[in-house]
């Protein structure tokens, strides 16, 4: 045996494994007159409203700035993968876009990684900034007090329910559950009286990603008490919380009593698309704990035109656990436009942000994107107020809403929550054991800086 054989093999395996971790992408050369704009394109090929909107702003910008070009870089991927891709692009000046669309829940993590540049100098000279509401301004404000992103809308969350199915199940058309138990009771009534229908959808598990953690888990968790996830006073994450266990217990009940979708459907990364384009329109789903943007799926040019949704579906606030004050709970997120640290044309990118944020364009985006306005002027805009049934309901939830802890480690905490949910959903673990495991993971993530509640 020649001694080189194992070496060759070792090298071969190394290449196989190393190759998968050193992804490289060819950078498109930068040109001082072109702004490269990276954004996430929906994985559903029928959803192209964001692309259409950006195209229209691009046209306007290029008309107003002769000789300057906007290059849109759509990245068609699930949210997790989109974030990973953009983070890799931002690591090198060769591939860094000039403008990037950042989810508020990741932005602090990316700021900490040094991917983004502060916008304070630009904002100081921009009158429009005063139109933004304070919570929105805070969304992209880092621990260093600087602002790194311009938000273009937010969202709230509540319960959507199908009145037709409710009538069959003997439930009221004007449904107003007062606590978790009443939500579960309604689901049980549907299960009993309307067979073949999924009673209650609560997003869960790792595959849907942040959708499961925020729409599913945190909508429950933040209804269990004050600051159940992160204690801003102590500046520490909360471990061993009763609220955490109760929220997992709720998820466990939904999937254990078969009140939810089949676990294999619930853990499908495309479950959100199924809810919007199949289960609700086809009358297969009674209740979904879901977002304010749902209507955009059913408007005429949406992925699944369904004009009846305006009358068939009702919306009601998600109640707190035992109806404790304020009685209702909502979570809010949203996206921001940010400029990477390694962007070549930051000034021109900022000009494009300003074009996107003219009052008309800002209002247009909130309408086509089914967003909740983050600007005073847009919130008063009649086209916005009339744009979508239910928009006044979801705008009304802003007063009850909570924001996720805007901290760099949050995305990793979110992943740990997704894993805990998945265990409970598949029945691989009890809420208690899944919560214990989360506590352990949390301590690792934040180097033991936790408080026990």
Contacts to another protein by CB under 8 A: 1-2, 5-6, 9-18, 20-22, 80-81, 83-84, 87-88, 106, 109-110, 112-115, 205-207, 262-264, 267, 269, 408-409, 411-412, 415, 419, 422-423, 426, 428
Provide the minimum distance between the beta carbon of 428 and another protein in the complex, in angstroms, as a whole number: 5
Other CB atoms within 10 Å distance of the CB of residue 123: 17
Among residues 2 and 63, whose Cβ is nearest to another protein? 2
At residue 373's C-alpha, the angle toward residues 145 and 149, to 5°, is 30
Among residues 20 and 26, whose Cβ is nearest to another protein? 20
Among residues 6 and 170, whose Cβ is nearest to another protein? 6
Number of residues that this document lists for the chain: 453
Rounded distance between C-alpha atoms, residue 347 and residue 353, angstroms = 10
Q: Collapsing DSSP states into helix, strand and coil, what is residue 45?
A: coil
CB neighbours of 405 closer than 8 A, spacing ≥ 6?
A: 229, 230, 232, 237, 413
Rounded distance between C-alpha atoms, residue 353 and residue 365, angstroms = 13
CB neighbours of 211 closer than 8 A, spacing ≥ 6?
A: 79, 203, 272
Provide the minimum distance between the beta carbon of 51 and another protein in the complex, in angstroms, as a whole number: 24
Detail the DSSP E strand segments found in 94-143: 99-103
Provide the minimum distance between the beta carbon of 90 and another protein in the complex, in angstroms, as a whole number: 9
Provide the minimum distance between the beta carbon of 408 and another protein in the complex, in angstroms, as a whole number: 4
Among residues 345 and 414, whose Cβ is nearest to another protein? 414
Nearest to 151 by CA among 395, 403, 337: 337
Rounded distance between C-alpha atoms, residue 118 and residue 234, angstroms = 27
Among residues 215 and 441, whose Cβ is nearest to another protein? 441
Rounded distance between C-alpha atoms, residue 104 and residue 402, angstroms = 13
CB neighbours of 407 closer than 8 A, spacing ≥ 6?
A: 108, 143, 230
Provide the minimum distance between the beta carbon of 108 and another protein in the complex, in angstroms, as a whole number: 8
Provide the minimum distance between the beta carbon of 11 and another protein in the complex, in angstroms, as a whole number: 7
Q: How far is CA 424 from the centre of its chain?
A: 22
Among residues 158 and 340, whose Cβ is nearest to another protein? 340
Q: Collapsing DSSP states into helix, strand and coil, what is residue 21?
A: helix
Among residues 265 and 377, whose Cβ is nearest to another protein? 265
Among residues 181 and 437, whose Cβ is nearest to another protein? 437
Judge contact between 99 and 35, C-beta under 8 A: yes
Among residues 116 and 450, whose Cβ is nearest to another protein? 116
Provide the minimum distance between the beta carbon of 20 and another protein in the complex, in angstroms, as a whole number: 6
Rounded distance between C-alpha atoms, residue 48 and residue 357, angstroms = 20
Give residue for tokens 């409970």: 424
Helix axes 180-193, 242-256, angle to 10 degrees: 10
Among residues 385 and 449, whose Cβ is nearest to another protein? 449
- Structure token pair of residue 383: 């086209």
Among residues 290 and 422, whose Cβ is nearest to another protein? 422
Nearest to 147 by CA among 168, 123, 170: 123
Backbone angles phi, psi at 46, to 5 degrees: -90, -10
Provide the minimum distance between the beta carbon of 136 and another protein in the complex, in angstroms, as a whole number: 22
Q: Collapsing DSSP states into helix, strand and coil, what is residue 421?
A: helix
Rounded distance between C-alpha atoms, residue 371 and residue 236, angstroms = 31
């Amino acid at each position: 045996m020649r001694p080189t054989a194992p070496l060759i093999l070792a090298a071969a395996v190394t290449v196989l494994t190393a190759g998968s971790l050193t992804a490289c992408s060819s950078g498109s050369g930068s040109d001082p007159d072109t702004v490269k704009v990276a954004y996430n394109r929906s994985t559903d090929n029928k959803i192209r409203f964001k692309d259409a909107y950006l195209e229209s702003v691009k046209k306007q910008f290029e008309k107003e700035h002769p000789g300057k070009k906007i290059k849109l870089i759509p990245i068609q991927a699930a949210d997790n993968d989109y974030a990973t891709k953009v983070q890799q692009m931002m690591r090198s000046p060769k591939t860094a876009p000039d403008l990037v669309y950042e989810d508020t829940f990741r932005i602090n993590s990316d700021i900490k990684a040094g991917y983004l540049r502060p916008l304070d100098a630009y904002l100081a000279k921009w009158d429009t900034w005063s139109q933004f509401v304070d919570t929105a301004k805070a969304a992209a404000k880092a621990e260093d007090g600087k602002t790194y992103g311009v938000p273009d809308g937010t969202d709230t969350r509540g319960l959507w329910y199908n009145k037709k199915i409710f009538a069959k199940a003997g439930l009221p058309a004007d449904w107003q559950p007062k606590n978790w138990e009443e939500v579960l009771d309604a689901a049980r009534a549907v299960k009993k009286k309307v067979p073949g229908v999924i009673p209650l959808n609560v997003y869960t598990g790792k595959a849907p990603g942040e959708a499961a953690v925020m729409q599913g888990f945190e909508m429950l968790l933040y209804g269990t008490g004050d600051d159940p996830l992160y204690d801003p006073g102590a500046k520490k994450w909360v471990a061993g919380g009763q609220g955490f266990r109760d929220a997992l217990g709720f998820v466990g009940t939904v999937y254990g009593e078969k009140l939810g979708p089949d676990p294999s459907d619930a853990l499908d990364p495309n479950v959100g698309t199924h809810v919007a384009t199949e289960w609700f329109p086809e009358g297969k789903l009674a209740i979904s704990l879901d977002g304010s943007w749902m209507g955009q799926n059913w408007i005429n040019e949406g992925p699944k035109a369904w004009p009846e949704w305006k009358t068939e579906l009702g919306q009601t606030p998600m109640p707190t656990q035992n109806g404790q004050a304020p009685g209702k709970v909502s979570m809010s997120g949203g996206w921001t436009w940010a400029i990477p640290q390694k962007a070549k044309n930051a000034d021109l990118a900022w000009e494009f942000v300003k074009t996107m944020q003219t009052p008309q364009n800002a209002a247009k985006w909130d309408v086509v994107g089914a967003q909740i306005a983050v600007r005073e002027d847009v919130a008063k805009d009649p086209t916005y107020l009339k744009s979508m049934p239910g928009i006044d309901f979801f705008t009304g939830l802003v007063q009850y809403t909570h924001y996720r802890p805007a901290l760099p480690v949050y995305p990793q905490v979110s992943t740990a929550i997704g894993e805990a949910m998945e265990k409970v959903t598949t029945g691989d673990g009890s809420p208690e054991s899944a919560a214990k495991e989360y506590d352990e993971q949390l301590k690792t993530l934040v180097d033991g800086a936790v408080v026990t509640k």
